[in-house]
């Protein structure tokens, strides 16, 4: 059976010394559950791998495996690698991506964001933050940096309706490159 490439994003690991999972252990765990060609990128829980299951099954499988192995409840968001280029193409803030790639973030949720999510987030935005939604993706340009933002992960999850994780533009592009590698 042909195995598809996927990208998995783990929410809130290795941030500020919390929810520590070494990437070598994460790769080993993924291999043990039957995933192939597992690659990680930086320490914040970015995986590229091959498997022959649905997105939902992959998310559930990794969440349950992480809880069993590490005792952590971590939200996992998986997307098909062949769909990832659509995120890159639909970036609503291309100039920010060129000039400030670390200040532009793609946010992905476990479920399709509520129709009111972006407006709710805009109401709480400060420091010149710009928001947009393209299909299932949320985009935030943080011109003053993420650290000063009032758009916290918990607020985003509440307004979106499911856990959200964000990756900066550089990481988005790097994951696309990794997913294209054999």
pLDDT of residue 2: 66
Segment 78-122, tens digit of pLDDT: 999 999 999 999 999 999 999 999 999 999 999 999 999 999 999
Q: Do 8 and 35 contact (CB within 8 A), yes or no? A: no
Segment 124-178, tens digit of pLDDT: 999 899 999 999 999 999 999 998 899 988 999 999 999 999 999 999 999 999 9
If one counts the domains in the chain, the total is: 2
| Global pTM value | 0.94
Q: Do 59 and 76 contact (CB within 8 A), yes or no? A: yes
For position 54, which CATH number holds?
3.30.70.1280
- How many Å apart are CA 111 and CA 23, to the nearest integer? 26
- How many Å apart are CA 38 and CA 48, to the nearest integer? 6
Single residue among 56, 83, 110 that ends a domain in this structure: 83
pLDDT of residue 105: 97
Q: Does 1 or 51 have the greater pLDDT score?
A: 51
β-pairing, 46-51 vs 4-10, is antiparallel
Torsion, Cα of 154, 87, 67, 161 (10° steps) = 40
- How many Å apart are CA 27 and CA 24, to the nearest integer? 5
Residues 99 and 162 in one domain: yes
Residues 72 and 97 in one domain: no
Residues 11 and 95 in one domain: no
Residues 68 and 117 in one domain: no
Segment 152-161, tens digit of pLDDT: 889 999 999 9
Single residue among 20, 53, 83 that ends a domain in this structure: 83
Residues 103 and 176 in one domain: yes
Q: Is the pLDDT of residue 1 over 60?
A: no
């Amino acid at each position: 059976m042909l195995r598809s490439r996927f990208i998995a994003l783990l929410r809130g690991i290795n941030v500020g010394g919390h929810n520590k999972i070494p990437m070598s252990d994460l790769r080993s765990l993924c291999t043990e559950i039957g995933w192939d060609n597992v690659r990680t990128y930086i320490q914040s829980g970015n995986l590229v791998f091959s498997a022959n299951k649905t997105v939902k099954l992959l998310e559930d499988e990794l969440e349950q495996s992480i809880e069993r192995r590490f005792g952590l409840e971590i939200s996992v968001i998986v997307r098909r690698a062949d769909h990832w280029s659509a995120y890159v193409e639909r970036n609503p803030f291309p100039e920010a991506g060129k000039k400030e790639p670390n200040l532009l973030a793609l946010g992905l949720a476990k479920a399709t964001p509520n129709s009111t999510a972006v407006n709710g987030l805009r109401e709480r935005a400060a420091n010149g933050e710009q928001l947009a939604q393209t299909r299932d993706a949320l985009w935030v340009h943080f011109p003053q940096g993420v650290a000063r933002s009032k758009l916290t992960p918990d607020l985003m999850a509440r307004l979106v309706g499911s856990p959200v994780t964000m990756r900066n533009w550089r990481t988005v592009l790097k994951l696309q490159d990794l997913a294209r590698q054999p």
